[in-house]
Amino acid sequence: MDSNSSQDIKKKPGKSQKPMFIALLAFSCLILLAAAFLLWWVPYIGLTNIYHGLPLIYGGILAGIILVIMAGIALLISTVVLEREIFLSHKLRGAVVHIVFPLMVLLGRLLGISKERVQQSFVEINNQLVLSLPFKVKPERLLLLMPHCLQNNDCKVRITGDVRNCERCGRCEIKELVELADENDVKLSIATGGTIARRIVVENKPELIIATACERDLTSGIQDSYPIPVYGILNKRPYGPCFNTQVDMGEVKKAMRLFLR
């Protein structure tokens, strides 16, 4: 896969949520600095009474911790802005998944930003970090994980146990997904919810997952699957949530070409 394909998949249609993510990170830096000042200033008087050099020692330790955290934030912002790995920045994905995202949700709530927008930005940033990973996977180690709501609501065929029960009538995108999986010899599974999705991941032990879902399910799936990299594709909901949803097949194909050996 050439660099142009990599750029194409990063520049998805629709408004990018990266500026909001960067703004929330910058705001968190200000809060961090204010908290650090209070943590130093409040015990200052008491520490001076014990030993005159303690405030300096305490301040140095606190400053070191803050500098490490802010360096990580700066590295993450640089990776997001430049859209490429910088100094092993892909290793920050764990911090983004378990620390940064919950913090962004909290800050977003305080600033009146919807949780859905924060989730969209998280998926976009996570995808960029996954794209920076310096490896490709064999077809048998890639898992396509799709939601059952992609199936046409009027279809009577049960595909959650075995997606190849699909009769390939073409009324929904399951037909294309089955054909795509067969052509590339990759595993395709359909999940009815988070519990089933987690079980599928445990049973298949993939090295990388390409998943489609709504904002809520995709963010929780990325968190639950860590450290397995998940490239997330938000579904389309022309008829509302969980009903005859759709997926951008072009994006699924691009992701597969990029990650497969």
Residue 217 tokens read as: 């399910």
Whole-number mean pLDDT of the chain? Answer: 84
Q: What is the DSSP string of the chain?
A: --HHHHHHHHS-SS---HHHHHHHHHHHHHHHHHHHHHHHHTTHHHHHHH-TTHHHHHHHHHHHHHHHHHHHHHHHHHHHHHTS--SSGGGGHHHIIIIIHHHHHHHHHHTT--HHHHHHHHHHHHHHHHHT-S--B-GGGEEEEEEGGGS-TT-----SS-GGG----SSSTHHHHHHHHHHHT-EEEEESSHHHHHHHHHHH--SEEEEEE-HHHHHHHHHHHTTS-EEEEEPB-TT-TTSS-B--HHHHHHHHHHHB-
Q: What span, in angstroms and rounded, lies between the C-alpha atoms of 238 and 175?
A: 19
11-15, 55-59, 79-83, 202-206, range with greatest mean pLDDT: 202-206
Model pLDDT, residue 177: 97
Model pLDDT, residue 104: 85
Confidence of residue 116 (pLDDT cuts 50, 70, 90): very high
Residue 152: alpha-carbon gap to chain centroid: 27
Mean predicted confidence (pLDDT) in 149-175: 93
Q: What span, in angstroms and rounded, lies between the C-alpha atoms of 222 and 109?
A: 21
Residue 212 has pLDDT above 80, yes or no: yes
The predicted-structure confidence for 2-45, as pLDDT tens digits, reads as follows 444 444 444 444 567 778 877 887 788 788 788 877 777 766 66
Q: Which of 169, 171, 165, 216 is nearest to 189 (CA)?
A: 165
22-26, 95-99, 224-228, range with greatest mean pLDDT: 224-228
